[in-house]
Structure 1
Amino acid sequence: MGVVYPNSQSVKLGVVLRRSPGVTAWAKWVWTATSVIPGAPQASWKLLREEGETTEYHASTHELTLYVSDTEAYAHELQADQPSVYVVMRTIDDAEMPLSILHVTVSPYEAQDYCDSGEETVERVAMPAAVHAWVGGFVNEHHVEEKFIKRRRDKLHVDRKDDGIGDARIAQATDVYRAPTSGPREAAE
C-alpha cells in the first residue's frame, strides 16, 4: 500500500494500454490508454488480449488518491458529459514497452498541470461506474461549496491629475501619448 495522507482515500487502478499498428511510415506502433481496472492487482505489462496486430496490456497498477482539498476539481469532473480518469504517461527508451505510467487522477486541474510541462502525455479514459460512485460519495461527504465573494474596488478619485502620463513637452491635450517632436529643427526641414 502507498503512503496514507490524512483526509484522503485511495483505491488501486490498473491501467490498460493498447498497442496497434501505426498508420504512417514514421510510427510502427500507436500506444493509447484505453481503460482502467478498479481494484486491480499489481501487474507489469501483463498481456490481456491479442486481436490480429492489436494487443492490450495491463501495463501497471497505481493508487488513485482523493484529497479533501481537491473536492472542487472532482465535482467539476463528475459534472462533465463523460467523466474520466486521466492517465499520465512518459515515453521511455524501450522498444517493447515505450511508456511509463506515472500517475492516475480524476482531477482535471491536476491533469492540466501535467499537460503544461510538455514532458508527459495525458490521456482520458472513461471513468468506470464503480470509480464514479466512489468519487461521488467522497465529494458528497467532503465538498463544501464556497460562496463567491466579488472583490470591491477601492474608491477611485477621478478628479486628480494623472502625473507621469504622456510627455510634458506636448502641449496638445488630445493626444498625450504621441511622441514629442524636437520643435524648431523639424519646422526648418
Structure 2
Amino acid sequence: MTDKPLTQALERIETMPLGIVVERRRGVTAWVDWSWRPVSVIPGAGPVEPPCRLLMEGEGWSHSHAATLTLELFRTDTEGYRLNLSQDPPRLWVVMRPGGDGEELVPFTVTASAHEGEGYQIGADVVETVPMPAEVIALVRDFVEQHHVDVPFHKRERKRHFEKEEGRR
C-alpha cells in the first residue's frame, strides 16, 4: 500500500482543513491495552503538534485533537459526494494507520466521497465514519452543485459470436 491518498493524482478543486478528534479507550480484552477511533472533526482547525492535544477525558477514555488533515474535493468524484449527501446523516470517512510504535493508530486521510471511503475499507487500513458537520455539508453541497455533470448511461450491445446464417441463435 502506498503512503499517498488514492485521489492525489486527480485534479483538486476545493480544500478545507479538518481537525480529527480521536477517542482513546481502555481495551476490553487482555490482548489490547487501548483502542483508537475517530469520533468527530473540527472544521477549519489549525495544525496540532505531536503527539496530540487533549480535549476531554473521563474514566478509561480521552478525546484528543490527533491531527489536522485536509479534506480535498475533486471535480471527478462528484457522484461519490452526491451519494454521501443523500444519506441521513452525511458522513466523512477517516482513514487511520498504525503509528511509529505500531500500537496506536494515527489519522492518515479524510474523504467525503462514498466511493473513495469504500475503496479504503477494502484494504488493510482502519476506516471509520464520523458525522459530517453542517459547515462541511454546505461546502460539499455547493461544490457538487457547481461541478457535477450527469453522465448518461449507455447500454453496450453484445457482439454475436455466430452469424444467424450458420444456423445458430
Global fold match (TM > 0.5): yes
Q: Distance in 1 between matches of 2:112 and 2:71?
A: 8
SS in 2 for 1:73: helix
Q: What's the counterpart of residue 154 of structure 2?
A: 149
Q: Distance in 2 between matches of 1:11 and 1:51?
A: 30
Q: Which has the larger radius of gyration?
A: 1
Q: What's the counterpart of residue 87 of structure 2?
A: 80
**Aligned residue pair count:** 157
Q: Which blocks of at least 5 consecutive residues in structure 2 are unaligned? A: 1-7
Q: Letter of the aligned partner of 1:98 in structure 2?
A: E
Q: What's the counterpart of residue 25 of structure 1?
A: 30
CA contact (8 A) 2:12 2:72 kept: no
Q: What's the counterpart of residue 35 of structure 1?
A: 40
Q: Distance in 1 between matches of 2:57 and 2:122?
A: 34
Q: Distance in 1 between matches of 2:78 and 2:24?
A: 34
- TM-score scaled to structure 1, two decimals? 0.76
- TM-score scaled to structure 2, two decimals? 0.84
**1:124 paired to 2:132:** no
**1:98 paired to 2:107:** no
**1:109 paired to 2:115:** yes
CA displacement at 1:56 relative to structure 2: 0.5
- Runs of 4+ in structure 1 displaced over 4 angstroms? none
CA displacement at 1:136 relative to structure 2: 0.4
Q: Distance in 2 between matches of 1:123 and 1:35?
A: 10
Q: What's the counterpart of residue 138 of structure 2?
A: 133
Q: Letter of the aligned partner of 2:143 in structure 1?
A: F
Q: Distance in 2 between matches of 1:27 and 1:59?
A: 20
The CA deviation string for residues 50-78 of structure 1, in whole angstroms up to 9 with x for no partner, is 11221010000011010111111111111
